[in-house]
Structure 1
Amino acid sequence: MAISGVTLYHFLLVGFISANAAVQQPSSSRCVSVVLDPATMTLKLVDGYHPNSSVAWANFTDHQQQTGWNYLTVSTSPEYNDTLQAYAAGLVEGFLTADYIYMEWFNTMASFCHYMTSDCLKIQAFLTENLEWMEQQVKANPNDPYFYQMGLILVQVDGLKDGYMNKPDRPSIDIDPFGFLLFQADGDLGDIQTALKADSGQKRGRFAGHCSALIKLLPGNKDLFVSHDTWTEYGSMLRVVKKYNFAFRMSPKSSAFVPGREVSFSSYHGPLLSGDDYYIMGSGLVSMETTIGNDNPDLWKYVKSKGTVLEWMRTLLANRLANSVMEWTDIFSKYNSGTYNNEWMVVDYKHFTPGQPLPKEGVLAVLDQLPGQIEKKDMTWLLTKQTYWPSYNVPYFPDIFKNGGFAKQAAKYGPFMQYNSTPRANIFRRDHHKVTDMESMIKLMRYNDFQHDPLSRCNCTPPYSGENGISARSDLNPANGTYPLEFLGFRCHGGTDMKVTSSGMAKTLSMMAVSGPTHDQQPVFQWSKSPCEKEQLHLGHPDLFNFEPMKIVWEQP
């Protein structure tokens, strides 16, 4: 299926499993370029792709109602300097996705600090000081690849804002220009609030909830799958899959392109990052995380506005600059902000050959973060030994487990909070061996049979929770149930997607993806039939999330 318009990249949607599944046609697709007018030396947005004058170009396909995803590709030309490329890339994305940016803001961000209370002013001051510090470092270190790329990312955010503001038929309500920084820092905001003891009127960090991740080595080492389920509020299910191809140099004095110049990722409209954090890079790396948080109040003193880089920025820098798993963790560890504290997993497909034993190192690195502390290690040996690596919001490294307050929680709540005995640890341990191909991998990552699975039971009434599955369905817990932990009860929250790639698919930055809460063993989620209809805003969402996995393939035209 070719996308209308001439672009460097288009995508294919392929129905999965059913050999006779029809390929769905997009509801709309548009290609727009940013061209440089040589007479006035100004940038202009024009329809179509113009190979001799395009600084950046993008194709946006609206397929939200048909598949639960929109699709965006953004590319830039190496014929122009990096700063111009970065601004143009943001400009064309903001312009093309303006309507969805507004809906995303309306659904998830508009109530954050709607009234600028003294607490909100504290949060704003923190973010302003942090931005000013980053800008100072960019200016002071013009040839340092780390700060050079940081400057390009900040320029891209400016372009995104201007692209949104310049769309003539965008919704009449303006997003505060500062709000485009909030889009990027959304995962960090909850921890910033906690560290500052600030009440914004809405607890942020909607991505900083629970997620499930699995790296699975197939029998005979015939393939290596890397998969992730986002767990978050259902109001955030306005989704887009993006692919960036940016011709950025390592630094102004370098002719070499950054290793991660190409990247595809699941995302949202407004952030330049994934948010749920699932990235496939042209460097051969795949990075993803599950949130571990921090339950030790003594550590919040390490969250400072100056001298630190927020998680969203550190993620983009590591993705762009790293060429190996440990290099990724080293770059990410710089200037630890102590916000959006996650367990990161980085896989390098360059060191994986189907059918061959794994090398002693270089395939998998794991990193756990707390305020003031990061622990990271090459874990290829353990992946070889147990043939899988699971992640489920409990830190792996004992010092992180202890220092982050998790040991105290485990003493209070028992096996549920222990690394080796929490329900998802038990389910992954029991079922990972059932994965023999892509279909069975997706089946495990969408698994939730909480009413019947003994591993989903809890000291609750009823005696189980929809939280205790690989892909949560907390909306199916009765509102009048009783639960020892609040998050085990009814919430409009659960697994909102699934993404997985393989050694072959990663070479073309492709993935399998499905949008919406799992309905393999559970009823399909439908806003109009759910009590969540009145609890969370969902402008622009499909009503019925009855979607199946789709293969997303980026191809040359």
Structure 2
Amino acid sequence: ANGNYRNGQNETGWGILEIETFNDFSEEIQSYAAGLIEGYCERLHNYIKNNLNWIKLKVNLLAKKDIYWHNTFTQLTGINDGYENNYYGEEEYYYIPNVSFKNSSVLLIQMSGDFFDLEHVFKKSENLEYEPSHCSGFIKITEGNKDLLMSHVSMSGYNTMNRILKLYKFAFDKKQSPGNIVSFSGYPAALSSADDYTLTSAGILSMETTIAVFNEPLYNKVKSKGQLHCWLRSYIANRLSVTARDWVRIFGRYNSGTYNNQWTVLDYKLFKPGQELPKNDLIWILEQIPGLVVSRDITWFINRYGYWPSYNIPFLSKISELSGFNEKGLLNNWWRWGYTPRAKIFHRDHNKVKDLKTLKELMRYNDYTHDEYSRCKCDPHIQLNISTRGDLNPKNGKYEVSGMGFRNHGSIDYKGTNFELFKQLRFEVIGGPTYGGPGNLPYFSWSNTKINTTHYGQPINWNFTEFTTIVIPQMGITFIVMIKQTEIQFFTHYVPLYNHSET
């Protein structure tokens, strides 16, 4: 069943609930699912409503004296007003800067990652798959400390490949907002990356890989008041942080227990090519579960081992214990830090990374039919790698863990940067699932895949190659903003993407 609930009581006196069921199931199952969805929609709506009311109270009370609460929902309101054409005044396209705290479709886009855990909080289904989407993260110091590379591969449903590379460049007071310029991979209408992979003008690069919460009673710690969702805390941390230590401290406030991740935060300002690495504060990690945030300086790790891997398993013992990973790791190395297949591949191959080219090769690596670490007690017995392709697994296979089998899930991109690119807030990217390489994998195509899901607006064939993001002062559709007292008017004109005389 699908459900949609909209609270229009202030406008019409009515709330509107739409429930749709499907004839693939018996009438008994359809009826039960309809009731289940109705209860879920209303409980979720009330939770979001109460959370927004609490945020509104804090913003109204503190925004003028605490930069933490300043401007975030103003930008969110602007996105929503632009999307809904909520203009004001006698003439069209006049907008009045304002702050709204309504439960809108644009807000729900921001919360896409938080819904991984909210589905458990509100028990959307009794048979929820425990594990959210996977990602792979990696940092490498090259020989002689000549370069410092940082990369991330997002893994998600192939229907989520409507991607956007964003650059926000705000003329804010740099003392108050050191991260006034941010460059990141993201999604339409989303203020934060959600991958996450974000470069800031303060010299900070933050990324995350999601961790599951197997200890379900922890979700009782998720409340509608006194907590801020992950997207908002990461947005604020990226804007306000000067150091990696700052970032984890700021992000750790008001933990919502939703979109629980292992965050890796690198301070590129502390790296000097060819010189000895600092002993402290170069790299911090933060791990979050409902009710607890733990952060640590792990600069020692890259000094000792020359790399840092992140692969959806907690590194910190307290988080591993409370989340349930310790117990799950006794059942299968799939959930065990240092022993899961991606951990072994990273440890074996990290010294092959010498530059951006070899970084890309490692992060797009998938030779699942030959690699010894891809083996599992499955039929077929080959599944696992750095950039997964769940669409290539047989539907009728037998797997140790459901996440190993055929499903709408796999790598959907590649992002990688080094010291020189980062100084310009640039990074290399590839859109789409991994293909080719030593495994000679076919590229993903909606024309022949067995994945059956909507993919509006996507290209059919995903055989793209890498390119480097370029910061151009004027590109594409440019909006000229005219301010008249408290009103803003937008005029649109087209500026060519490239000056052909310079290409």
TM-score of the superposed pair, with normalisation by structure 1: 0.73
Give the alignment partner of residue 314 of structure 1, picking from 213, 233, 236.
233
Q: 1-side partners of 2:82 and 2:36: how far apart? A: 26
What is aligned with 2:344? 426
What is aligned with 2:448? 529
What is aligned with 2:57? 136
Deviation at 1:507, TM superposition (A): 1.0
Equivalent residue runs for 1:92-107 within 5 Å: none
**3-state SS of 2:380 partner:** coil
Distance 1:354 1:555, change over 3 A: farther
Deviation at 1:193, TM superposition (A): 2.2
Q: 1-side partners of 2:116 and 2:315: how far apart? A: 23
Amino acid at match of 2:382: Y
Amino acid at match of 1:444: L
What is aligned with 1:57? none
Give the alignment partner of residue 369 of structure 1, picking from 288, 298, 301.
288
Superposition RMSD in Å: 2.3
Deviation at 1:383, TM superposition (A): 0.9
What is aligned with 2:5? none
Tell me if 1:547 matches 2:473. no
Amino acid at match of 2:104: F
- State the percentage of identical aligned residues: 39
**3-state SS of 2:447 partner:** helix
Deviation at 1:360, TM superposition (A): 0.9
Tell me if 1:193 matches 2:119. yes
Q: 2-side partners of 1:163 and 1:361: how far apart? A: 44
What is aligned with 1:506? 422
Give the alignment partner of residue 183 of structure 1, picking from 90, 109, 114.
109
Q: Deviations over 1:397-442 (max 9, x none)?
A: 11111110001111122x2221011000000000000001110000
Equivalent residue runs for 1:140-539 within 5 Å: 140-149=61-70, 152-166=71-85, 178-199=104-125, 208-249=132-173, 256-413=175-332, 415-465=333-383, 468-519=384-435, 520=437, 521=439, 522-532=441-451, 535-539=452-456
Whether the 8 Å CA contact 2:67–2:176 is kept in 1: the answer is no
Q: 1-side partners of 2:205 and 2:109: how far apart? A: 23
Deviation at 1:153, TM superposition (A): 1.6
Amino acid at match of 1:481: G
Deviation at 1:513, TM superposition (A): 0.2
Amino acid at match of 1:314: R
**3-state SS of 1:528 partner:** coil
Q: 1-side partners of 2:328 and 2:465: how far apart? A: 37
**3-state SS of 2:56 partner:** helix
Q: 1-side partners of 2:250 and 2:65: how far apart? A: 13
What is aligned with 1:118? 39
**3-state SS of 2:459 partner:** coil
Distance 1:114 1:188, change over 3 A: farther
Q: Deviations over 1:275-328 (max 9, x none)?
A: 111000000000000001211112111100000111110000100001000110
Whether the 8 Å CA contact 2:237–2:247 is kept in 1: the answer is yes
Whether the 8 Å CA contact 1:189–1:204 is kept in 2: the answer is no
Unaligned runs of 5+ in 2: 1-33, 88-101, 475-503
Q: 2-side partners of 1:349 and 1:117: how far apart? A: 48
Q: 2-side partners of 1:257 and 1:397: how far apart? A: 32
Q: 1-side partners of 2:130 and 2:239: how far apart? A: 24
Q: 2-side partners of 1:203 and 1:274: how far apart? A: 25
Whether the 8 Å CA contact 2:120–2:128 is kept in 1: the answer is no
Whether the 8 Å CA contact 2:153–2:414 is kept in 1: the answer is yes
4+ residue runs over 6 A deviation:
113-116, 202-206
Deviation at 1:247, TM superposition (A): 2.2
Whether the 8 Å CA contact 2:197–2:208 is kept in 1: the answer is yes
Deviation at 1:249, TM superposition (A): 3.9
Amino acid at match of 1:122: R
